[in-house]
Amino acid sequence: MPQISTSDFKNGMSLDLEDGLFSLVEFQHVKPGKGGAFVRTTLKNVRNGAVVERTFRAGEKMERAIIDKRDMQLLYRDGDDYVLMDSSTYDQLNVPAATMGDASNYVVDNSSITIMMYGTEIIGVDLPASVELSVAETEPGIQGDRVSGAKKPATLETGLVVQVPLFIEPAERIKVDTRSGEFISRA
């Protein structure tokens, strides 16, 4: 593992600390009038999402974690597992649903995703900002019900339930924001 110093910090950098694997959200070099300089940081645990604040001495050395991003294609679901194929080597990989997390609400068979790996461990899934999904079922819009901004629930092909405008019908394709899980527009 490459050693880095606090002077090499950049936002988004990954660090392998004693407490676990962290991503550097924000940092600030501080030089007080008395005493030695230090670096105040905000770190996000990559595995569980917890955010912690931590202070390091200036010039302190630590391990930098190398996160590998791989383009994968979801082939199919096998029980509770997802079978992914590496787009460059064509190797197949079984991934438990728990590892996929919220990404399972936005991926369908044959969709492309980016997997973030640390060594052989999958630590996250990087999704595009929005995805197109089909509406599996929703109530029909009532004629004459034209309240501005009225919404109704719609179940998508992945099982995700989102609020959509009244004019959306079953089997229509819609765009959904993967960060918030909200309806964007018709596809």
Give Cα 137 distance to the centre of its chain. 26
Which residue in 88, 178, 93 sits closest to 127, CA to CA?
Answer: 178
**For 31-55, what is each residue's pLDDT tens digit?**
998 888 999 999 999 888 889 999 9
> Which residue ranges make up each domain of the chain?
3-64, 68-126, 130-186
The CATH code of domain 3-64 reads 2.30.30.30
The CATH code of domain 68-126 reads 2.40.50.140
Going across the sheet that includes 92-96, the strands are 92-96, 81-86, 68-78, 112-118, 121-126
| Total-model pTM | 0.72
Domain 130-186 sits in which CATH superfamily?
Nucleic acid-binding proteins (2.40.50.140)
Say whether 130-186 and 68-126 share the same fold: yes
**For 5-26, what is each residue's pLDDT tens digit?**
988 899 989 999 988 899 999 9
pLDDT confidence of residue 187 = 80
